[in-house]
Amino acid sequence: MQILTFLKTPAKNIEQKMFRVALLVVLPFMAILTIVSFVNIAATKTKFAKDKIHTQSGNANKRIALFFGPLFRDILYLQARGNAEKQMDPKNQEDIRDFLGCFSSFYLQNVNQVLFRDSEVTTAYTLNADGCTDPEKITGERCSQLLDKTLKKADPNKIDWHPGDLNSDDNKSTILAATVFQNPKSHKSYAIALNIDTTDFFAGLEKHMVARLFLMSELPERLPQQFLLTDGGKPDIEETNDPLILAVFAQWKSGKTNGDEAFRFIFDGNPWWVSIRPLQIKNKHLYSGLIIPESKMIADTRKGRLSFTWFLSISFGLVLLATVFLWRRHHHDIKQSALPPALNDMDNDELLKQIAAGENDRLEFKSTLRWNLRSNKPDKAMEIACMKTMAAFLNSEGGTLLVGVEDDGNIIGIDTDRFPNEDKFLLHFNNLINQHLGLESVGSFSFDAKHLDGGDILIVDCLPSTAPVYLRYDRREDFYVRVGPGTRSLTTSEALEYTRSRF
């Protein structure tokens, strides 16, 4: 009643006017907004749950594809060399050592050892920064038993993934990828395996492993493989016996799920949210799955909505400050997840469409890597131009460099650079990166040769770097960024301001 009386009385000063505005406008608005927020929690629960699990499963899916894609490529390439006559004979250990030393300079990332086994002996070639060591015989029974299983199956179309407890270092985790090939000369079968360091890979998946994260295949008689922590505390990938995952797998195999759209799943009377997405790995029909209990989703939804209401009731300014603060802290991850798909993952038709569309702020063409078409001889300036473009992509929003494509989109191929073979070309390109950009930038890009009708081209996919990348050349360091479809060098003061605000 006193409030009603106060409102009926004419305001005597500015403070009373502000008080009336607060009572008549702000407080009713906040009350309505609070009620709507609470009611909206239930109404938006499904959308919130779908969006959240879709985002989390997408992040896990990308990390898995980026790690396992090159491993599938490498072991299948080594298998093909083993099956080819005069390409790779396990008895010729010196040739294998020399080949692996060269091959590992730009492939076999995260691989500690390459192992060969016949029915009696296991031989290991250890890879390091200097190349490949001399072969040594492995006497451990567990390693031999695992490779004997692969030999016994004699299935060249299958890659066995074994738990990697072969590493004596308790601070590291490894897995063993093995398959078979037959030497065409001796007609003898061998198991070939990669001993892979998975320490950093599992560290990036740790938050997803708290939920249920697993891999699935369309092939018959293949059960899901779950990412989990062993009794000893080490992460691993094992064939699952989790009844929830097996139930989800059975529904997925029956075709009752709607593509890669997240869905609600009831198991033993409890609701769960599931997201299954295809892995972007060439010629592999593999999928990653993530399962999160709905109770956690509801708790997160309710907590987010209540926090939003409380912030509004205190001050719109706090919400704005918190948003700006979070944006500045996480803007890099937000931008990377929104990147368009890598051109290395596209098929030839999609890639040709991208080339036909022309250059833009995230796509640049270079005719050659080192060969000056005007002077008709090698030119260091051509190499530096490619390195400048890569540095600019890494320091900006990412992008793709295509070598072997003219400015107008005409494909002339990397043969124009006149290297003896593709391996020599890729080795030279890898050396340029080490020399001018540094090893610290390696994790932010990937490159590979692509075979097109017009010729072979080099595709270099660059992600936004988490740290500044400088181009080292002629005893100086320069800092480049992308400005529209071009590359620009920043002055020292501009580079300092740019790195301070971005990294």
Sign of the torsion formed by the C-alpha atoms of 29, 34, 35 and 40 = positive
| CA pair distance 479, 391, nearest whole angstrom | 8
Superfamily covering domain 61-305: PAS domain (3.30.450.20)
Cβ contact 390:434 at 8 Å: no
Question: Has domain 343-502 been given CATH number 3.40.50.300?
Answer: no
Same fold, 61-305 and 343-502: no
What was the pLDDT predicted at 419? 94
For residues 368 and 38, give the distance between their C-alpha atoms in angstroms, rounded to a whole number. Answer: 61
What is the CB neighbour count within 10 angstroms for residue 124?
20
Residue type for position 350? E
Question: In whole angstroms, what is the distance from residue 242 CA to residue 233 CA?
Answer: 18
Collect contacts of 151-155 with beta carbons under 8 A, ≥24 apart.
151/117, 151/118, 151/119, 151/180, 151/189, 151/190, 151/191, 153/180, 154/180, 154/189, 155/180
Q: Kindly give the pairing relationship between strand 399-403 and strand 363-366.
A: parallel
Sheet holding 476-483, edge to edge: 471-473, 476-483, 486-490
pLDDT of residue 310: 53
Rounded to whole angstroms, the Cα distance separating 57 from 68 reads 16
- The number of C-alpha atoms within 13 Å of 327 and in the hemisphere containing its C-beta is 7
DSSP class of residue 405 equals: B
* Residue 419 · residue 403 · CB < 8 Å: no
- Is 259 exposed, middle or buried, given 0-12, 13-18 or 19+ CB atoms closer than 10 A? exposed
Would the CA dihedral through 156, 159, 163, 169 be positive or negative? positive
pLDDT, tens digit only, all 503 positions of the chain? 444 444 455 554 554 455 455 555 555 665 566 566 656 655 567 777 788 888 888 888 888 888 888 888 888 888 888 888 667 888 888 888 888 888 887 888 888 889 998 888 888 898 888 888 888 888 777 788 888 888 888 888 888 887 665 555 556 788 888 999 988 888 888 999 998 888 888 887 776 666 788 888 877 777 888 887 666 666 777 788 889 999 999 888 888 777 778 888 999 999 998 999 888 887 778 888 899 888 877 665 555 555 555 555 555 454 444 444 433 444 444 444 445 556 777 888 889 999 999 999 999 999 999 999 999 999 999 999 999 999 999 999 889 999 999 999 999 999 999 999 999 999 999 999 999 998 888 778 889 999 998 899 999 999 888 899 999 998 899 999 999 889 999 999 999 999 998 87
User: How far apart are the C-alpha atoms of 240 and 250, rounded to whole Å?
Assistant: 13
Burial class (CB within 10 angstroms; exposed 0-12, middle 13-18, buried 19+) of 412 = middle
Instruction: Give me the torsion for CA of 150, 155, 159, 162, rounded to 10°.
Output: -20
**pTM of structure:** 0.50
Residue 10 to residues 7, 18, 19, 500, Cα–Cα distance (Å): 8, 13, 12, 54
The alpha carbon dihedral of 317, 320, 326, 331 has a sign of: negative
Please give the pLDDT value at position 372: 94
- 179 secondary structure, DSSP code: E
Q: What is the pLDDT of residue 491?
A: 93
Q: Please say whether the dihedral angle defined by the alpha carbons of residues 235, 239, 240 and 246, taken in this order, is positive or negative.
A: positive
> Taking Cα atoms as reference points, which of 106, 24, 95 lies closest to residue 429?
106
Length of the chain, please?
A: 503
Domain spans of the chain? Answer: 2-46+306-331, 61-305, 343-502
